[in-house]
Amino acid sequence: MPCDLILALDVPTRADAAPILRSLRGSLRWVKIGLQMFTACGPDCVREVAGHGFQVFLDLKLHDIPHTVAKAVESLAPLPIGMLTLHTSGGREMMAAARAAQQQTKPDLLLLGVTVLTSMDAAALAEIGVPTAPDAQVARLARLATEAGLRGLVCSPLEVSLLRTQLPADMQLITPGIRPAGEVGDRCASPGVTDDQKRTLTPTEAARVGANYIVVGRPILKARDPAAAARMILEELGSREKLKG
């Protein structure tokens, strides 16, 4: 199963993003814009990244009552985005409302259900009243998302193997919590550091267990040469020739 790389563009300003995008143009297909950039720059940053030739994954993790989330999906539909996230913990009705709005306004948009954040472990789940292990909670939320009509999920790479045994084969699995090792890791400013990620794998390991996409941010952004670090990950995934096609 092919696996592609998504750069998490978690930088403070559009000025910080511009040189990174210029250096990666032609090598990388996908860029993720999260809360940091979107709240700082708004929809213009989405248009700007798309204007550089990248496909945009908008990671806003929508979570509200069903009507509000559906209207948010409708509001975002005119933007040049290919993926959009919402929290599966919002429930079946919320996810189904988002899916209906997406189908009516932007049929090609891939709605992704976020299961359990990769910054959370069993202790963190217990603190918010979830007594089950992360993998069990991920599986429960993943089944709920599937029943609500979602075709993609965001999960830790540690849960990919489990989900592949329980979900339809065409379910798209996107995995943050990726930390390169070896030469790629050595090129990072802080090799081996997992930051606040608690459930991680390397790019090769994530691809091997069945991830469709891996999301990498700080190991590329903090590297001495971000473009070289990204290219090494792409080579590790065997994606370079595919991207040329």
Q: What is the CATH number of the domain that holds 138?
A: 3.20.20.70
Average pLDDT, integer, range 126-149: 95
The active-site residue, picked from 32, 61, 106, 198, is 61
Domain count, the chain: 1
The pTM of the full predicted model, rounded to 2 decimals, is 0.88
Q: What percent of the chain has pLDDT over 90?
A: 64
- Rounded distance between C-alpha atoms, residue 136 and residue 231, angstroms: 35
Residue 61 is a catalytic residue: yes
- Rounded distance between C-alpha atoms, residue 216 and residue 176, angstroms: 7
Specify the amino acid at residue 27: S
What per-residue confidence (pLDDT) applies to 61? 97
List all residues 6 or more positions away from 16 whose beta carbon is below 8 Å from its beta carbon.
none
What per-residue confidence (pLDDT) applies to 12? 87
Instruction: Tell which phi-psi region holds residue 71, choosing left (phi > 0), alpha (psi between -120 and 50) or beta.
Output: alpha
Tokens 């979570």 belong to which residue?
Answer: 63
- Rounded distance between C-alpha atoms, residue 95 and residue 162, angstroms: 22
Q: Which of 46-55, 80-89, 225-234 has the lowest mean pLDDT?
A: 225-234
102-114 pLDDT, tens per residue? 999 999 999 999 9
Range of the domain at 167: 4-244
Q: In angstroms, what is the C-alpha Rg of the chain?
A: 17
CB neighbour class for 63 (10 Å; exposed up to 12, middle 13-18, buried from 19) = middle
202-218 pLDDT, tens per residue? 888 889 999 999 999 98
What per-residue confidence (pLDDT) applies to 239? 45
What per-residue confidence (pLDDT) applies to 200? 60
What per-residue confidence (pLDDT) applies to 27? 83
Residue 195 has pLDDT above 70, yes or no: no
Contact 203, 185 (CB under 8 A): no
Q: Which of 75-84, 135-144, 181-190 has the lowest mean pLDDT?
A: 181-190
3-state secondary structure of 4: strand
Q: Which of 60-64, 66-70, 79-83, 185-189 has the lowest mean pLDDT?
A: 185-189
Q: 181 pLDDT band (50/70/90 cuts)?
A: low
Most confident of 139-143, 177-181, 204-208: 139-143
Average pLDDT, integer, range 50-66: 97
165-174 pLDDT, tens per residue? 999 999 999 9
- The DSSP call for residue 242 is H
What per-residue confidence (pLDDT) applies to 215? 94
Q: 184 pLDDT band (50/70/90 cuts)?
A: low
